[in-house]
Amino acid sequence: MKIPQSVSLVGTLTLAGLLSGLVIVGVHRWTEPIIRENKARALQESVFEVLPGSEAVEAWVWSGEELDPAAGDGGAGGSEGDAIYAGFGAGGEFVGWAIPAAGAGYQDTIRLLYGYDPQRRQVVGMRVLESRETPGLGDRIIKDLSFVSEFEALAIEPRVVLVKEGGDAPNEVDAITGATISSQAVVDVINSGNEVWLQRLPETTPAAPSQPPTEVSP
Amino acid sequence: MSAKTPESAYAELVKGLWEENPVFIQVLGMCPALAVTNTAVNGLAMGGATLFVMVMSSLMISSLRKVIPRQVRISTYIVVIATFVTVADMLLEAFTPLIHKELGAFISLIVVNCLILGRQEAFASKNTPRMAVADGLGMGIGFTFALVLLGGAREVLGKGALFGVSLFGDAFEPWIIMILPPGGFLMLGFLLLLFASVKEAKENLNGSPAADTSDERAA
Amino acid sequence: MEDNLQLLWIFVGALLVNNFTLSYFLGLCPFFGVSGRLDTAFRLGLANIFVMVITSLCASFLNAFVLPHAPYLRLISFIVVIASTVQFVEMVVRKLSPVLFRALGIFLPLITTNCAILALALFQTSRGYGVLEGIVFALGAGGGLTLALVLMAGLREEAELSNIPGIIRGTAMNLIIAGILSLAFMGFAGLFSAS
């Protein structure tokens, strides 16, 4: 009896699919708020780190023509290509923009977040979010604190430049010995991030968001 | 595949730990075994997630074994396994975000771990839920044990630490290759070699013929 | 980076620098299982490339239109796509070349459980590749897989004829060979240095 058999086959798979769907949707609804909160917190931690003095974050999204605050996302929305983050200090004053950027490193892509202060036209902080550089060498872009601190008051004009050592000009960064390529990659990523975003920044200083800014105790 | 009928749930559980250890004897589930064992903690987390998926899938499939038609059994198994993997992924992301980030895509890859599918096909679909869960537990724990051993060995040599606790202090020059991909291959190869020599030495001592474990290699 | 350079980086990256098998530990089941013979290994590699390209296309489609509404169904839908593609490839190979079909044996349906294919779809999603980037990535990853398979098969054929102690033969030896291959491939790092 062919027909009943096919029915039972399809029926079983459909039933399995439905049950599976139920289970997944159920767990998803339970865990989604927790996951979202984790992501928001992680993002805020990174932003606070690259924009020293900031205590609140607001996501701004590039629509293709202009940059506007993201609608009610609490600072966790937006995909990497089109969102940056405005940081505000304790008194609601604007601190700077945290810009995510990525590019090719030595081994694989490096993803980082850097803070930019438009008034002083300087990079004020940098944090590598993801990298697969060689442990002990390339990964010093994360671990070597003196390298990271090079990005705390870095002029961006005409562009950030990597030098082997003894870089004194405000727009120069000293490379990590033995990890020149990884260091260069970080500099390149910031330069290309600037190329894309500096022209998109609004002329006026953003005001603190009208609803209470999302605050998480550090 | 062992042809003997299951003697007891306990026996089923124990066999997965050593005699039919998924990684060292059956050589299954290699992808996660090598990819996420750069530290002991990661090995433990991956093993735990796999254990969860194994046990839940075995339980479900064994309970439904009389109902699932033969022709679509593999597809059904995969749907069940994928469901629990998705659940495990969500739970990890919610409650241990750091570990979730370390393991990354490999959590989702548990669904194509030949170990789990193999056990459903070879065992869970033919035995009672109690036996199936015991088997799942045993294999899962054996798998976790192998991963922690591998991860621990690589972490100690490659970072001078175990479970994040530094063992040797600053003077230790880490053997970095151990936490990189070649280290995974090499370390597992050495461990297999170690276990094979131990086994051979034991047999020489006992004077008994070498136990033929080659037929334990499940598909 | 300009677009063409970016595509080249994706291709070469997946093929050599971050080889799917030797660097990401994917596709190990066929790598250790079938790589005993050079010609079988090569043909299996080609079958994998084909499945990967189709999977990449379907994944792009799913990611663009279907999954934004239900992201938690990603895993299941990818698996279904892969299983169907492999089924399709099986039918085509059986019709066009029964000899090849017999030679590949069980390894053809096992492409479904090849973690490399699922990983391709997952990486493509998490890196946000578009359709063209996805295809280039699939070609590079599949090519890398084939490269690793072929190298391993060649080395194993040599090893068969060499004087290696019995206890090492088998999986332990294959793992050590793989480790050395992986070490060699590490030399490709920095191939595409930021200039």
Dump pLDDT digits (tens) for A72-85: 544 444 444 578 88
C143 pLDDT more than 90: yes
> Mean pLDDT throughout C16-23?
87
> Mean pLDDT throughout A106-120?
86
Tell me the pLDDT band of A210, cut-offs 50, 70 and 90: low
Say whether A9 and B83 touch across the interface (CB within 8 A).
no
What secondary structure, in 3-state letters, does C73-113 show?
A: HHHHHHHHHHHHHHHHHHHHHHHHCHHHHHHHHHHCHHHHH
Along chain B (219 residues), what's the average pLDDT of each consecutive run of 10 residues? Answer: 55 75 75 82 91 92 82 81 91 89 84 84 83 88 90 87 78 81 88 83 72 43
Say whether A107 and C17 touch across the interface (CB within 8 A).
yes
Which candidate from A79, A132, A188 shows the least CB-CB separation from C194? A188
> What is the maximum alpha-carbon separation in chain B?
62
- B20 in helix, strand or coil? coil
Q: With CA atoms as reference, report the closest residue to A107 among C155, B121, C24, B85.
A: C24
A15 pLDDT more than 50: yes
Residues of chain C in contact with residue A185, where contact means CB-CB under 8 angstroms, are 194
Residue C63 gets which letter from DSSP? Answer: I
> Mean pLDDT throughout C6-27?
86
- B162 in helix, strand or coil? strand
Say whether A12 and B67 touch across the interface (CB within 8 A).
yes
d(CA B158, CA A167): 34
Cis ω before A158 (30° cut-off from 0): yes
Dump pLDDT digits (tens) for C48-88: 898 899 999 999 998 888 877 777 788 888 888 888 888 88
Any CB–CB contact under 8 A between A132 and chain B?
Answer: no
Residue B215 gets which letter from DSSP? Answer: G
Residues of chain C in contact with residue A132, where contact means CB-CB under 8 angstroms, are 18
**Residue A17: how many other CB atoms lie within 10 Å:** 17
Q: CB of C109 within 8 A of CB of C20?
A: no
**Rounded to whole angstroms, what are the CA distances from A43 to A14, A50, A52, A108, A216?**
40, 11, 14, 22, 11
Go through chain A and tell me how many residues it has. 218
CA atoms within 13 A on the CB side of A3: 0
Any CB–CB contact under 8 A between C100 and chain B?
Answer: no
Which candidate from B80, B94, B174 shows the least CB-CB separation from A16? B80
**Rounded to whole angstroms, what are the CA distances from C136 to A64, B55, B112, C114, C141?**
27, 39, 24, 19, 8
Q: CB of A141 within 8 A of CB of A183?
A: yes
A70 pLDDT more than 80: no
Q: CB of A68 within 8 A of CB of A209?
A: no
A37 vs A166 pLDDT, higher one = A37
> Mean pLDDT throughout C40-44?
83
Residues of chain A in contact with residue C189, where contact means CB-CB under 8 angstroms, are 106-107, 134
Which candidate from C23, C119, C172 shows the least CB-CB separation from B192? C172
d(CA A58, CA B2): 61
Ordered DSSP codes for chain A: -HHHHHHHHHHHHHHHHHHHHHHHHHHHHHHHHHHHHHHHHHHHHHHHHHSTT--EEEEEEE-SS-EEEPSS-TT----GGGEEEEEE-TTS-EEEEEEEEEEE-SSSEEEEEEEEETTTTEEEEEEEEE--PPTTTTTHHHH-HHHHHTTSSEE-SS--EEESS---STTEEEPPTT-HHHHHHHHHHHHHHHHHHGGGS-SSPPPPPSSPPB----
Q: What residue has token string 């998480």?
A: A216
Any CB–CB contact under 8 A between C92 and chain B?
Answer: no
Q: Write down the pLDDT at residue B214.
A: 43
B208 vs A143 pLDDT, higher one = A143
Q: Write down the pLDDT at residue B218.
A: 41
How far off is chain B from A9, nearest CA to CA, in Å?
6
Tell me the pLDDT band of C99, cut-offs 50, 70 and 90: confident
Residues of chain A in contact with residue C18, where contact means CB-CB under 8 angstroms, are 107-108, 132
Residues of chain B in contact with residue A28, where contact means CB-CB under 8 angstroms, are 90
d(CA B129, CA C15): 45
Say whether B196 and C172 touch across the interface (CB within 8 A).
yes
Q: Which of B61, B76, B85, B172 to mutate to test the interface with A (most CBs of A within 10 A)?
A: B76
Say whether C106 and B114 touch across the interface (CB within 8 A).
no
Share of chain C above pLDDT 70, in %: 95
Q: Write down the pLDDT at residue A81.
A: 59
Q: CB of B34 within 8 A of CB of C25?
A: yes
Which candidate from B68, B82, B97 shows the least CB-CB separation from A12? B68
Residue C27 gets which letter from DSSP? Answer: S
Q: Write down the pLDDT at residue C192.
A: 65
Dump pLDDT digits (tens) for A159-205: 888 888 777 788 888 888 888 888 888 898 999 888 888 888 888 88
**Rounded to whole angstroms, what are the CA distances from B212 to B1, B17, B199, B216, C32?**
12, 18, 12, 8, 21
How far off is chain A from C115, nearest CA to CA, in Å?
20
Residues with Cβ < 8 Å from A133, sequence gap 6 or more? A105, A106, A107, A108, A110, A139, A141, A179, A182
